[in-house]
């Protein structure tokens, strides 16, 4: 595999469409949240789409993904089917986790999507173990582990980094640095604000990437995956990005200014990608409209699937607390 | 405030309507005003205003040294609170929710709870750790734990569970005055609760359980967010002629055995309601103590209504089914009070 990104038209359109799907899916989620169809915590990925979409372009079916609680984007980019995803947000039996997980806990075994995790940093040690198993079982797979820069403050981050390098594991660390951990600005949360530099203390190759550019993220991920598959051990990407919306649905955003948000919105990965494609005559207004209606259709279908779903029987409440066997 | 109130509003001036959240905040404010050694430390307590908005406005009033925002690093900042307490400060450490306190479990259990004893009394740990607890907001398994009963297992800690606005307002002061680490569990479902706060009330103790509603037929032993459910159940039972006595445990360690035993000895029937799980739990402990000390006072086996033995699920109907609810309290209490 070459680490050069092939920006052929079809691929570029695919990337744009994936980002659009995430954006619109989440806009629908907000609507549904207001209609109280979706409850609990809802963390949106608005503005960060280029990271998940860029990374996933460079992964294959055998690779594994460990996600955060802000994982709709990661799940959609990974190809988790939209219907069961939306049904999970509704808490329906047809949801990918049978209504037990909700927004923060999307799992999809078939996609090797090892779950949204609502404990900050909670996924990092899992990624180490998944990569260890893949290595020992000779799967030749890479585990992509997503986490926010806030997770870097936790001991689990440092312990995991050390293990990954020490054992030469095929882990791709993807730090989604959106500059705020809830209300904590990067410079108030980290003594070293260039997160990727922490990797060097663990002797791990690392890059800082423009997380608003899916192209930049994809090519960095291709380089990383190439290095990991060559047996060089883990690799670290710090993707600089920004969340356009509140941390979750309850957040007065006292910690940042409207101007700052607007400044970052000028770098909206969807807007940039779309205008780049248009300027290079790879996308017409008509084609974009068609893309939009295709995306809307997929979302409508997902909502219809969720609406038509059923509620798990209360008698099955305790099911899956313990398993009878290990699923194959 | 009282002086400024017009004559006609005398009553409302006497009792002030507030929320559990505001009561928690006022408790912290007064603690900060009252002792320069006290500071509040935790994730998003400052700039963000607190994840449940308890500390909103305090950063402006007290500044960043006394409202200290921390990075995500529960084990480190809880440990730092312990160290600061050993070295002369009187910290209030906030852990957003008890779910994340698991990352600080080592510091709480291996340090806070043991240092006084291990050092042969050379050091005390006068620290307060506040955290939100409980389920009911469809936050799923990792955000819905109730660990106060777990912590109540540990010698060297004191465990408080304010279930009323009064306790939310006043438990902090005696907790800070205590030479030992005190953990305060604030239930997420109570923050919005509104109620009166008697401005003349000078304080509360952190040693006793409280009878929130006297009754002769059955004792409902509970705390936290199960308290309002038990009160509601008692109201319903009363309309059927069953008078339930509601005992608010308040202090989960050390348990106020005398109040509990006195109540059960009067009613001779007991239902324990706890949002924690049953196995190896606080409710098991209370039941055991009653069996040890009041067995012959009982007219019926002790009953328990606890969370079902399952990680708390996301879906509303499943979450509701997993937790103790008022109708089940009524049903069990009725079956206890009116034996066939
Ligand atoms: C261990 C732990 N502590 C605290 C929280 C509460 N919390 C949820 S998200 C968050 C901020 C995380 O920031 P970051 O890792 O940068 O990710 P982002 O939300 O910005 O995507 C906090 C403090 C948690 N879920 N887990």
CA of B94 to the centre of ligand 1 (A): 15
B184-233 pLDDT, tens digit each: 999 999 999 999 999 899 999 999 999 999 999 999 999 999 999 999 99
ipTM: 0.95
Report pLDDT digits (tens) over A128-150. Answer: 999 999 999 999 999 999 999 99
CA end-to-end distance (rounded Å), chain A = 30
Inspect the interface and report whether the beta carbons of B44 and A312 lie closer than 8 Å: no
From B74's Cα to the closest Cα of chain A, the distance in A is 7
Cα distances from B282 to residues A159, B186, B224, B251, B276, in angstroms, run: 34, 17, 13, 12, 8
Superfamily of domain B14-197 in CATH is Thiamin diphosphate (ThDP)-binding fold, Pyr/PP domains (3.40.50.970)
**Count of domains in chain A?**
1
Residue B7 has pLDDT above 70, yes or no: no
Query: Would you state the pLDDT for residue A250?
Result: 83
Q: Say what the pLDDT of residue B2 is.
A: 38
- CATH 3.40.50.920 domain position(s) in chain B: 210-337
- The CA distance from B205 to the nearest CA of chain A, in Å, is 34
H or E stretch at A160 = helix A155-166
State residue B5's pLDDT score: 39
Would you say B324 and B274 are in contact if contact means Cβ atoms under 8 Å apart? yes
What pLDDT does residue A75 have?
98
Task: Determine the residue among B314, B317, B320, B328 to mutate to test chain A binding: the one whose Cβ has the most chain A Cβ atoms within 10 Å.
Answer: B314
Q: What is the pLDDT of residues B311-339, one digit of tens each?
A: 999 999 999 999 999 999 999 999 999 86
Given this model, what pLDDT does residue B9 score?
41
pLDDT in tens, B113-147: 999 999 999 999 999 999 999 999 999 999 999 99
Q: Is residue A317 part of a domain?
A: no
Angle, CA B106 vertex, CA A114 and CA B120 arms, to 5°:
175
- Establish if A322 belongs to a structural domain: no
B235 is a catalytic site residue = no
Residues in chain B: 340
Q: What is the pLDDT of residue B14?
A: 63
> What H or E segment, with its residue span, contains residue A199?
helix A196-201
Alpha helices of chain B — where are they, by DSSP H?
A: 10-14, 20-34, 58-62, 74-86, 105, 115-118, 148-151, 165-170, 172-177, 226-239, 257-267, 282-294, 316-322, 326-337
Ligand 1-lining residues (CB < 6 angstroms): A 70, 118-120, 148-151, 176, 178, 180-182, 247; B 43, 72, 74, 96, 100, 103
- Other beta carbons less than 10 A from residue A14's beta carbon: 13
Q: Which two tokens stand for residue A162?
A: 């050390």
Q: How confident is the model at residue B4, as a pLDDT?
A: 41
Please state, in angstroms and rounded to a whole number, the distance separating the CA atoms of residues B146 and B159.
Answer: 13
d(CA A224, CA B62): 47
In the predicted model, is pLDDT for residue A258 greater than 50?
Answer: yes
Quote the minimal CA–CA distance from B72 to chain A in Å. 5
pLDDT-based confidence at residue B12 (cuts at 50, 70, 90):
very low
CATH number of the domain residue A277 falls in: 3.40.50.970
Note whether residue A312 is domain-resident: no
Q: Residue B109: is its pLDDT beyond 50?
A: yes
Position A304 pLDDT exceeds 70: yes
* CA–CA dist B37, B176 (Å, integer): 11
- Could you tell which of A67, A150, A180, A255 is best to mutate to test the pocket of ligand 1, judged by most ligand atoms within 8 Å of the CB? A150
Q: Which of A233, A295, A278, A291 is nearest to A26 (CA)?
A: A295
Q: Please give the share of chain A, as a percent, with pLDDT higher than 90.
A: 96
A5 confidence band (pLDDT: 50, 70, 90): low
Q: What is the pLDDT of residue B340?
A: 53
Q: Is residue B215 within 8 Å of residue B182, measured between CB atoms?
A: no
B273 and B230 in contact (C-beta within 8 Å)? Answer: yes
Residue tagged 């290990």 (tokens): A326
Name beta bridge partners: A281: none
Contact, A211 vs A197, CB < 8 A? no
**At the topology level of CATH, where does B210-337 sit?**
Rossmann fold (3.40.50)
Phi and psi torsions of B272, nearest 5°: -100, 130
Residue B3: which pLDDT band, with cuts at 50, 70 and 90? Answer: very low
- Quick one: what percent of chain A has pLDDT higher than 70? 98
The confidence score (pLDDT) of residue B195 equals: 94
**Nearby residues of A90 by Cβ (< 8 Å), 6 or more positions away:** A32, A37, A38, A99, A306, A307, A309
Which residue's alpha carbon is nearest to atom 17 within ligand 1?
Answer: A148
- C-alpha to C-alpha distances, A144 to A179, A211, A231, nearest whole angstrom: 21, 16, 15
Evaluate the omega torsion of the peptide bond into residue A260 and state whether it is cis, within 30 degrees of 0: no
Average pLDDT, chain B: 95
Half-sphere exposure of B195 (CA within 13 A, CB side): 17
Write the residue with the smallest CA distance to atom 13 of ligand 1: A181
C-alpha distance across the termini of chain B, in Å:
56
Which tokens sit at A74?
Answer: 């990661």
In-domain check, residue A264: yes
* Rounded-to-integer distance, Cα B217 and Cα B213, Å: 12
- Annotated catalytic residue B117: no
Q: What is the DSSP string of B203-243?
A: ---SS--EEEE--SSEEEEE-TTHHHHHHHHHHHHHHTT--
pLDDT grade for B10, boundaries at 50, 70 and 90: very low
CA distance A218 to A210: 10
Taking the CB of residue A265, how many other CB atoms lie within 10 A of it? Answer: 13
Token pair for A119: 């404990």
User: What is the pLDDT averaged over residues B171-193?
Assistant: 98
Answer whether A99 sits within 8 Å of B318, measured CB to CB. yes
Centre of ligand 1 to C-alpha A186, Å, is: 13
Percent share of chain B, pLDDT over 70: 95
> Which positions ≥6 away from B172 have C-beta within 8 Å?
B24, B27, B28, B30, B31, B92, B128, B130, B184
Q: B239, B225, B66, B80: which is closest to B161 by C-alpha?
A: B225
Assess whether pLDDT exceeds 60 at residue B288.
yes
Q: Which of A1-10, A274-283, B311-320 has the lowest mean pLDDT?
A: A1-10
- Placement of tokens 């995500």 in the chain: B72
Give the tokens for residue B285: 């402990």
Domain assignment present for A154: yes
Lowest mean pLDDT among A1-15, A32-46, A92-106, B166-180: A1-15
For residue A251, what are the domain limits? 9-306
How far is the centre of ligand 1, averaged over its atoms, from the C-alpha of A90 (Å)? Answer: 23
Q: Does position B253 have pLDDT exceeding 80, yes or no?
A: yes
DSSP per-residue letters across B148-204: HHHHTTSTT-EEE---SHHHHHHSHHHHHHSSS-EEEEEETTTTT-EEEE-TT----
B108: its two tokens: 């709480």
Extract the runs of DSSP E, i.e. beta strands, from chain A.
64-66, 143-148, 171-177, 180-181, 184-185, 206-210, 235-240
What's the rounded Cα separation, in Å, for the pair B144 and B187? 10
A319, part of any domain: no
DSSP string, A207-242: EEEETT-HHHHHHHHHHHHHHIIIII--EEEEEE--
What sign has the CA pseudo-torsion A24, A27, A31, A36?
positive
């Amino acid at each position: 595999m070459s680490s050069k990104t092939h920006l052929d038209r079809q691929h570029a359109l695919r990337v744009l469409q994936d980002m659009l799907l995430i954006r619109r899916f989440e806009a629908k989620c907000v609507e549904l949240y207001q209609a109280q169809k979706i409850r609990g915590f809802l963390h949106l990925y608005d503005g960060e789409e280029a990271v998940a979409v860029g990374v996933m372009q460079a992964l294959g079916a055998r690779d594994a993904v460990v996600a955060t609680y802000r994982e709709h984007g990661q799940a959609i980019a990974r190809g988790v089917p939209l219907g069961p995803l939306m049904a999970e947000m509704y808490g329906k039996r047809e949801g990918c986790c049978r209504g037990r997980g909700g927004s923060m806990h999307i799992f999809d075994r078939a996609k090797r999507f090892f779950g949204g995790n609502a404990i900050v940093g909670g996924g990092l040690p899992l990624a180490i173990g998944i990569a260890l198993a893949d290595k020992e079982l000779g799967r030749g797979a890479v585990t992509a582990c997503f986490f926010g820069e806030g997770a870097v403050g936790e001991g689990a981050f440092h312990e995991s980094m050390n293990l990954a390098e020490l054992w030469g594991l095929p882990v791709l660390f993807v730090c989604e640095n959106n500059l705020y951990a809830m209300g904590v600005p990067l410079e108030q949360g980290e003594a070293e604000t260039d997160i990727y530099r922490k990797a060097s203390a663990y002797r791990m190759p690392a890059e800082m990437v423009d997380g608003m550019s899916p192209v930049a993220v994809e090519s960095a991920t291709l380089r990383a995956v190439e290095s990991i598959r060559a047996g060089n051990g883990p690799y670290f990407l710090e993707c600089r990005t920004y969340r356009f919306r509140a941390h979750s649905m309850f957040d007065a955003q006292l910690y940042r200014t409207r101007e700052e948000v607007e400044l970052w919105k000028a770098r909206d990965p969807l807007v940039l990608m779309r205008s780049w494609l248009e300027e290079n005559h790879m996308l017409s207004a008509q084609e974009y409209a068609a893309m939009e209606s295709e995306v809307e259709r997929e979302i409508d279908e997902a909502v219809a699937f969720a609406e038509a779903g059923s509620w798990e029987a209360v008698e099955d409440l305790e099911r899956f607390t313990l398993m009878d066997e290990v699923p194959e | 405030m009282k002086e400024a109130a017009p004559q006609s509003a005398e009553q409302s001036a006497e009792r002030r309507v507030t929320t559990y959240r505001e009561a928690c905040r006022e408790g912290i404010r007064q603690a900060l005003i009252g002792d320069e050694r006290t500071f509040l430390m935790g994730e998003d307590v400052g700039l963000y205003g607190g994840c449940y908005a308890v500390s909103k406005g305090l950063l402006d009033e007290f500044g960043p040294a006394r409202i200290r925002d921390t990075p995500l690093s529960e084990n480190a900042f809880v440990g730092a609170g312990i160290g600061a307490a050993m070295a002369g400060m009187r910290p209030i450490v906030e852990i957003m929710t008890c779910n994340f306190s698991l990352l600080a479990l080592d510091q709480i259990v291996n340090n806070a709870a043991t240092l006084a004893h291990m050092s042969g009394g050379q050091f005390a740990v006068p620290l307060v750790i506040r955290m939100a607890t409980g389920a009911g907001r469809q936050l799923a398994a990792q955000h819905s734990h109730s660990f106060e009963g777990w912590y109540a297992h540990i010698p060297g800690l004191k465990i408080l569970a304010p279930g009323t606005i009064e306790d939310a307002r006043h438990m902090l002061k005696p907790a800070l005055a205590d030479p030992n680490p005190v953990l305060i569990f604030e239930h997420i479902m109570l923050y919005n609760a509104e109620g009166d706060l008697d401005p003349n009330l000078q304080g509360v103790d952190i040693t006793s359980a409280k009878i929130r509603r006297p009754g002769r037929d059955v004792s409902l032993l509970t705390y936290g967010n199960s308290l309002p459910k038990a009160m509601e159940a008692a109201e319903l039972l009363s309309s059927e002629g069953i008078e339930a006595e509601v005992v608010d445990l308040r202090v989960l360690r050390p348990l106020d055995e005398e109040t509990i035993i006195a109540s059960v000895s009067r009613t001779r029937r007991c239902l324990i309601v706890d949002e924690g799980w049953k196995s190896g739990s606080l409710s098991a402990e209370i039941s055991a103590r009653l069996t040890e000390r009041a067995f012959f006072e009982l007219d019926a086996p002790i009953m328990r209504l606890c969370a079902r033995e399952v990680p708390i699920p996301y879906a509303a109907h499943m979450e509701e089914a997993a937790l103790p609810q008022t109708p089940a309290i009524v049903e069990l209490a009725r079956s206890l009070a009116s034996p066939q």
